Structure 1
Amino acid sequence: MIDPPVPPVSSPARLVLERADLERAASAGLVEAGQVEALWTFLAQGKPYPEEARFSFGHTLYYFGGLLAISAMSLFMTLSWDVLGPWGITVLAIIYGLIAWAGAEMLARRGFAIPAGILAALAVFLVPLATWSAQHALGLWPEVDSALSGTRFNQYHKWIDARWLTLELATLLAGGLALWRLRLPFLVMPVALTLWYMSMDLARWPAGTDPWDLDHARHVSLVFGLAMCGAGGVLDALRSRRGGADFATWLYLFGAVAAWGAITASDSGSEAARLGYALFNGVLVLFGAVIGRRVFTILGAMGVALYLGHLSFELFRDSLLFPLALSAIGLAMVGAGLFWQRHEAAIHRRLRALLPGAK
Structure 2
Amino acid sequence: MKLTRAMLDEAAGQGLLDEGQAGRLWQFLVAREQHTPGFKPAHILYYLGGLIAIGAMSLFMTLGWESFGGTGLLFISICYMVAALGAVEWLRARSLLLPAGVLAAFAVVLVPLAVYGLQHMLGLWADGGAGSSYRNYHYYIDWRWILMELATLAAGAAVLWRYRMPFTVMPLAVTLWYMSMDVTEMLLGHYSLFSHEGKVMSAVFGIAMTLVALWIDLRNRSSKDYAFWLYIWGVLTFWGALSSMDSGSEFGKLVYCLINLLMIGIGAALSRRVFAVFGGFGLAGYLGHLSYTVFRDSLLFPVALTAIGIAIIATGVFWQRREAAIGASLRQWLPGPVRRLVERRAA
**What TM-score bracket applies, with the shorter chain setting the length?**
0.7 to 0.9
CA shift in 2, pair 1:172/1:325, >3 Å: same
Q: Distance in 2 between matches of 1:32 and 1:213?
A: 63
> Is 1:329 the counterpart of 2:313 in the alignment?
no
Cα contact 1:281–1:304 (8 A) shared by 2: yes
> Is 1:121 the counterpart of 2:125 in the alignment?
no
Select the residue among 170, 185, 189 that pairs with 2:151.
Answer: 170
- Between stretches 210-219 and 246-255, larger displacement belongs to 210-219
CA shift for structure 1 position 129: 1.2
Which segments of 5 or more consecutive residues in structure 1 lack a partner in the other structure? Answer: 1-11
Corresponding residue number in structure 2 for 1:9: none
- Between stretches 327-336 and 305-314, larger displacement belongs to 327-336
Q: TM-score scaled by structure 1?
A: 0.80
CA shift in 2, pair 1:227/1:50, >3 Å: farther
Cα contact 2:61–2:135 (8 A) shared by 1: no
- Between stretches 293-302 and 102-111, larger displacement belongs to 102-111
Corresponding residue number in structure 2 for 1:228: 209
Equivalent pairs, count: 332
> Is 1:291 the counterpart of 2:270 in the alignment?
yes
CA shift in 2, pair 1:74/1:263, >3 Å: closer
- Between stretches 209-218 and 83-92, larger displacement belongs to 209-218
Cα contact 2:191–2:197 (8 A) shared by 1: no
Select the residue among 118, 125, 133 that pairs with 1:152.
Answer: 133
Corresponding residue number in structure 1 for 2:297: 318
CA shift for structure 1 position 61: 0.5
Cα contact 2:125–2:132 (8 A) shared by 1: no
Corresponding residue number in structure 2 for 1:305: 284
Corresponding residue number in structure 1 for 2:77: 93
Cα contact 2:66–2:133 (8 A) shared by 1: no
Q: TM-score scaled by structure 2?
A: 0.82
Alignment of 1:21-36 (within 5 A): 28-30=14-16
> Is 1:266 the counterpart of 2:245 in the alignment?
yes
Select the residue among 201, 214, 219 that pairs with 2:195.
Answer: 214
Q: Distance in 2 between matches of 1:351 and 1:175?
A: 38
CA shift for structure 1 position 317: 2.7
- Between stretches 73-82 and 181-190, larger displacement belongs to 73-82
CA shift in 2, pair 1:23/1:315, >3 Å: closer
Q: Percent identity?
A: 47
Choose between structure 1 and 2: higher helix proportion.
Answer: 2
State the AA in 1 paired with 2:235. A
Select the residue among 108, 111, 114 that pairs with 1:130.
Answer: 114
CA shift in 2, pair 1:308/1:63, >3 Å: same
- 1:238-286 CA distances to partner (integer Å, 9 max, x unpaired)? 33xx333110100100011122223333333122222111111112112
CA shift in 2, pair 1:28/1:171, >3 Å: same
Higher relative contact order (CA 8 A, sep 6+): 1
Cα contact 1:118–1:186 (8 A) shared by 2: yes
CA shift in 2, pair 1:334/1:29, >3 Å: closer
Q: Distance in 2 between matches of 1:233 and 1:336?
A: 28
- 1:320-359 CA distances to partner (integer Å, 9 max, x unpaired)? 3333333333343444455555655665555445432236
CA shift in 2, pair 1:162/1:312, >3 Å: farther
CA shift for structure 1 position 22: 8.7
- 1:274-325 CA distances to partner (integer Å, 9 max, x unpaired)? 2111111112112111211111001111111222222223323333333333
Corresponding residue number in structure 2 for 1:107: 91
Cα contact 2:69–2:120 (8 A) shared by 1: no
Cα contact 1:281–1:301 (8 A) shared by 2: yes
Which segments of 5 or more consecutive residues in structure 2 lack a partner in the other structure? Answer: 341-347
Cα contact 1:203–1:216 (8 A) shared by 2: no
Select the residue among 58, 61, 64 that pairs with 1:80.
Answer: 64
> Is 1:193 the counterpart of 2:174 in the alignment?
yes
Q: Distance in 1 between matches of 2:152 and 2:169?
A: 12
Cα contact 1:50–1:244 (8 A) shared by 2: no
Aligned CA RMSD, in angstroms, stands at: 3.3
Q: Distance in 1 between matches of 2:334 and 2:95?
A: 35
- 1:212-243 CA distances to partner (integer Å, 9 max, x unpaired)? 8834323322332222111211222233xx33
Q: Distance in 2 between matches of 1:346 and 1:137?
A: 65
Corresponding residue number in structure 1 for 2:51: 67
Corresponding residue number in structure 2 for 1:3: none
State the AA in 2 paired with 1:110. R
